[in-house]
Structure 1
């Protein structure tokens, strides 16, 4: 490959990477023009796309360094993402893990507990998902369901909630003593912002799957969720695993601020890597590639 062709290839790869980012960003833009106009007027200006992408790619490159450090040092990392429905938890998790190795960094988003799980020790269903050495686990909602949705929606009684508040500080201290680096984020949005995001989801067919009857009830019970959140902070914000609140009304800034803050919590540094060299292709003069039947190929419609 000549110098010019190599440069062209690198530029094409970079363009493809930016296209991938742009494709993800489009998910925030595919909605009716009327709703888009209302949302823009209510929300105001955010970061210009070029500025956002430059910062995003820089932070993602640092996250790769963090990943390499975690693997090299056999670190164990758990990051919890909590917040109201539509607060942006999934969006930031997607950007954090976008360029990481899924064998190292995995996302856990558990469904509602089964009848069997309801009869177990409350934390039991979460324990199998905790990391081994060299792994990072991102919980999209976590054991704090008990302090939030389960409490507000009546799936847990007050005795169960009180037992949770008694147990969770010691449970998290146990995790930290075991060598797990535990980080807890709460994504905070205003009442008005959540209402706008729900309207967007209702009118955008690509996002309607994100709405559940439970989400709609969370609008009715906004104040109940607020009271539950305040008590949760008061009783679970311990020195070993403090809460960090991410203002989330501006999605782009929330993502960048969270990623930057997460990186600041770890003493990561460059780790040694073996030099990678591409081996020469081995040619066998006796080998003849077989012709595969055309029906095996995906049709070239685009």
Structure 2
């Protein structure tokens, strides 16, 4: 082998959208606005679910925690992307890349699981309304939340360690906007079949199981709603689930396409684009979807704005 190919990689270069230098200023502005809107929108949902008495229910307990997870998840990637575009320095150290990937995987797990738990919560509320207060107690909510955060940590740490234990020599250019498993495996100097299998297994475990739970919940919910005699009752029941269904479609659709698609010649480009859906667009649209389509949240927001306005006037 040539000597340059034996150079041990100590840092990676995140190519991102560097092939379009004329768009760097525009991309920086767009990503900055998106990040600020994610922080403000999801932060507002967290505040509303904490301070408004009408939102002290399991559904909004999980929504508030989901918004918190969205902020954390986005903060792992977007600030670094903004710095890379602003400074035009796309280098990231080996250790920093490992840390970014580790947190990305660890935070992605509770996002998937919380969406599944929220679907199960809606199933209990609509299909078993009399038993709902007895089943979905605050203690159970806390246990489900703790489980969603902790269950994936050992698996994702092991997967991160497995990837960064591979030998990296020569090429250190990642055709991506952040450190992600598949771009890293493409530049590893070893057969990565076992690692790719591990990624598929992790995706099936933490993506497909919650997704199937969501699918099962909404099949049950739909069958119950269709049996309701009142059109108004059916509309109200569907409206309480529509926001969650939209978020699920955005998040799981892009994640499944990214991690379960086969190897294709243009898969790197597809991964880069679809990764923006679940890391940026879903966290940005989450507050909008839940605010614009949820009367309880709109009412709580109006009350909060009135309180803030009254405080300023006094």
* Band of TM-score, shorter chain: 0.3 to 0.5
Q: Give the helix-richer structure, 1 or 2.
A: 2
Q: Give the strand-richer structure, 1 or 2.
A: 1
Normalized against structure 1, the TM-score is what?
Answer: 0.34
Higher-Rg member (1/2): 1
Normalized against structure 2, the TM-score is what?
Answer: 0.33
